[in-house]
Amino acid sequence: MKLFCRILIPLISLVALVLLGGTNVLADVVVECPTWSAGPGSPINYTGGTFIDSNGDGMIRADDSEITAPVSDTQVCLHLAAGDGLVNMADGREQYMFGFANATGTPNSQVLNVFMEGAVFPAPTIKLKQGDDVYLTLTNVGMNRRPDLFDPHTVHWHGFPNASAVFDGVPDASISINMGSSLTYYYHVVDPGTFMYHCHVEAAEHMQMGMLGNLYVTTAQDGTSFEYPVSSGKFYTKFAYNDGDGSTGYDVDYPLQLAAFDPTFHDASFNIQTLPFANMDDKYPMFNGRGYPDTVKPLGDLPLHNHSTSSPVSTLMTPTAGDRMLIRISSLSTTSFHTIGIFGLKMQVVGQGSRQLKEPYMTNSITIGGGESVDVIIDTAGTTAGEKYFVYATNLDHLSNDGQDYGGMMTEIQIQ
């Protein structure tokens, strides 16, 4: 009997494995950007359509004529790769990270090779239009530097109204994608506003490790001209919200996302040690993935960095004197609240939580916790070219890159 069990059990297991392996694809990179094969009424071709990001905006859009035979005029296709990578802090220190990269347009067969260990921080900015039908494919390329990890990943569109559970990206409540495979999320984008996105798998870990980015939606009202204030002679065609009167109109907008790294946590992850959740203590506070002075530098001007392309986003703001600026502030800090202030300019808060505020208000500081977003308008009327204004965390201990002072959560508005 004992011998029988010893032989039979492995045999059954082996047969089961072969059967399973033989009948199912275990992993596959598949981008779903569906197309009609002919006219309406014909079957949808979910994969294998023809599309190319011809204008280089990081997404495939039907209204940019980048999709042959799209399923709708407002179809948008995006492809994110999720995995690991290395990034430099502003003091040059190398940090291991988990993150996303924009794989849109890369042939399926090359995605694993190209994006393995290719994560960027912050995650690629996703800028959409109200009314878009978004097909966002997420491919899990695995953790090249942590082959002991088999973590799945998700995309959580933070703040999506009336989200369905299956596309909300919470692993406990739905599905997450395993290594080597792809999952396509669908969003019918109804509301404009400032949102954010991040991976929700083991959220405290994956977010501290860097799986987060900017996401915002421009309005259906964009393109319509409003004079604001009435009889001011100032006209706007871009708006934070569908305000109906131009009151959230802007000339130039900047996403500004707060997040921070705890080097002890990142080093523990890299060195396969127990992760210090309770002691999580951020030492690298950042705007859009960089600490000052990197925040104001172009990509090519990061001499301390071996991995400069891992943090490609500059947060230098360069409005022309007189411009009305919109700053889309969001926080994905995993540890603390922050207060953001500006020297010398006034802030008008026109929105929060991806909705227009009924009563906008003036302020000199914005306090924002993890998972909150605030839309701030700054009127640069009265400034002159060459002037410089600082945007910074008034939590002054967050103005550092670990031990290095005059760093952290700070950037500049340089008037042109």
Partner 1 sequence: MIYIKRQLEDSCLILLTLLLSLVPATGWAAIQGLSGTNFNFTASSGQISAADGDDVFFWGYGVAGQRPQYPGPTLIVQQGNTVTIRLSNRLPQNTSLLIPGFKVQASGGVAGQITREAPAASATEAVYSFVADRPGTFGYYSGTNSDLQVEMGLIGAIVVRPTGFDAAVPTAYGDARTAYDDEFLFLLSEMDPEIHHAVEIGTDPVATTGFHPVLWFINGRNAPDTMAANNVTWLPNQPYNAMPSIEVGKRLLARWVGGGRDHHPFHTHGNNFDLIARDGYLLQTTAGASRQASEMGTVPDLAVSDFTQNVAPGGSYEGIWSWTGAELGWDMYGHSGTEVGICESGPTPATTIDADGFDVNTREYCVDHGKPLPVVLPNAQQLTFGGFYSGSPFLAAEGSLPPGEGGNNPNAGYAFMWHSHNEKEMTNNDIFPGGLMTIMIVNAPGM
Report 70-99 residues binding partner 1 (CB under 8 A): 71
Which one among 50, 55, 65, 164 touches partner 1, defined by CB under 8 A? 164
Q: Does 26 bind partner 1 (CB under 8 A)?
A: yes
Report 116-145 residues binding partner 1 (CB under 8 A): 133, 135
Which one among 1, 3, 25, 38 touches partner 1, defined by CB under 8 A? 25
| Closer residue to partner 1 (CB): 182 or 219 | 182
Spatial distance between the Cα atoms of 375 and 354, rounded to a whole number of angstroms:
8
Beta-bridge partner residues of 138: 80, 183
Q: How far is the CB of 292 from partner 1 (least distance, A)?
A: 23
Report 31-70 residues binding partner 1 (CB under 8 A): 32, 34, 46
Report 274-293 residues binding partner 1 (CB under 8 A): 274-280
Q: How many residues does the chain have?
A: 416
Provide the 8-state DSSP code for 327.
E
| Closer residue to partner 1 (CB): 36 or 390 | 36
* C-alpha distance from residue 128 to each of 135, 161, 213, 406 (Å): 12, 15, 14, 35
| Closer residue to partner 1 (CB): 58 or 353 | 353
End-to-end CA distance of the chain: 86
Q: How far is the CB of 401 from partner 1 (least distance, A)?
A: 21
| Closer residue to partner 1 (CB): 123 or 317 | 123
Q: How far is the CB of 196 from partner 1 (least distance, A)?
A: 10
| Closer residue to partner 1 (CB): 77 or 342 | 77
- Of 2-10, 105-113, 164-172, 378-386, the segment contacting partner 1 by CB under 8 A is 164-172
| Closer residue to partner 1 (CB): 285 or 370 | 370
CB 292 within 8 A of CB 221: no
| Closer residue to partner 1 (CB): 24 or 109 | 24
Q: Is 114 helix (H, G, I), strand (E, B) or coil?
A: helix
Radius of gyration of the chain (CA): 23
How far from chain centre, in Å, is Cα 261? Answer: 16
Which one among 8, 17, 52, 165 touches partner 1, defined by CB under 8 A? 165
Q: How far is the CB of 265 from partner 1 (least distance, A)?
A: 9
Three-point CA angle 130, 56, 77, nearest 5°? 45
Q: Is 318 helix (H, G, I), strand (E, B) or coil?
A: coil
Please give the size of the binding site for partner 1, defined by CB under 8 A: 74
Spatial distance between the Cα atoms of 42 and 37, rounded to a whole number of angstroms:
7
Instruction: Give per-residue burial for 181-193: e unless 16+ CB within 10 Å, then b.
Output: bbbbbebebebbb
Other CB atoms within a 10 A radius of the CB of residue 416 amount to 13
Report 221-250 residues binding partner 1 (CB under 8 A): none
Q: Is 205 helix (H, G, I), strand (E, B) or coil?
A: helix
Which one among 77, 89, 119, 207 touches partner 1, defined by CB under 8 A? 207
Report 366-395 residues binding partner 1 (CB under 8 A): 367, 369-372
CB 294 within 8 A of CB 307: no
Report 305-324 residues binding partner 1 (CB under 8 A): none
Amino acid (1-letter code) at residue 378 = I
